[in-house]
Amino acid sequence: MTRAARSGRAAIIGQLKLAARKGDRAALTLAIEQMKTWAYSPRYWLRYLQLLAHPLARLVDLTVIKQGEKIARQKGWVTPTRKAPRPRPKRRPPVPPPARPSRARRVGVPTQPSLFPDLPV
For the chain, the domains span 9-75
**Rounded to whole angstroms, how far apart are CA atoms 50 and 15?**
16
Got the DSSP string for 76-89? T-SPPPPPPPPPPP
Secondary structure percentages of the chain, helix, strand, coil, to 5: 50, 0, 50
User: How far, in Å, are 16, 35, 57, 107, 108 from residue 28 at the CA level?
Assistant: 6, 10, 11, 83, 85
Check: CB of residue 62 under 8 Å from CB of residue 24.
Answer: no
Mind listing the pLDDT tens digit of every residue in the chain (121 residues)?
444 556 788 999 999 999 889 888 898 899 999 998 888 887 887 888 888 889 999 888 888 877 767 776 777 665 666 677 778 777 777 777 777 766 555 556 667 777 777 776 6
